Amino acid sequence: MKYDISLTVNGDTYNLAVEAWQTLNEVLREDLNLTGTKLGCGSGDCGACTVIVDGKSVSSCLTLAVEMDGRQILTVEGLAPSGETLHPIQEAFIEKGAIQCGFCTPGMELSALNLLETNPRPNDTQIRSAISGNLCRCTGYNKIVDAIAEAGRRMKPQSKARR
Ligand code: FES
Ligand code: FES
């Protein structure tokens, strides 16, 4: 049996029929072709699947799509909706060398956004705490922490992504 839901992703509203067992991650990646959101562990441990739902970061692999009816979702694609101008967080990640394989990057950047929108000048401890649910096997984290701090210095209210 399928359930009709309506959800808004990066400002666009979609009406979908989903199975009760389908995750938000599956719907984003397979139904909406928004493959920027990654699937890593599938069990809530790695943060690769992080998206923002109604202003809070969630693991899309553990979130049922049917529960997303009426919700506002931001994925990494929504950070740079035009595809031309990058979000300050994305610019800082590139400039600070905080991306290697890139698999963790979408989730990291959304966790960073979630932090910076409430605390634009976080210290290292606060940054590390905010990304504690996001695993990176490449960078050793220091460059990611530097990038998030730099992004906080650059972000202005008008530079925020659509929520
Ligand atoms: S894929 Fe969701 S937390 Fe790892
Ligand atoms: S850049 Fe490869 S996992 Fe983080």
pLDDT in tens, 125-158: 999 999 999 999 999 999 999 999 999 999 976 4
Q: Return residue ranges of the chain for CATH 3.10.20.30.
A: 2-76
From the options 3.10.20.30, 3.40.50.970, 3.30.70.870, 3.90.480.20, give the CATH code of 2-76: 3.10.20.30
Q: Which of 61, 110, 131, 134 to mutate to test the pocket of ligand 1 (most atoms within 8 A of CB)?
A: 61
Atom of ligand 1 nearest to the CA of 50: 2
Mean pLDDT of 102-119: 97
CA 99–ligand 2 middle distance (angstroms): 6
Say yes or no to pLDDT of 86 above 80: yes
Task: Indicate whether residue 107 lines ligand 1 (CB < 6 A).
Answer: no
String of DSSP letters for 56-82: EEEEGGGSBGGGGTT-EEE-GGGGSTT
For 88-159, CATH gives: 1.10.150.120
Question: What is the rounded CA–CA span in Å between residue 64 and residue 85?
Answer: 32
Q: Return residue ranges of the chain for CATH 1.10.150.120.
A: 88-159
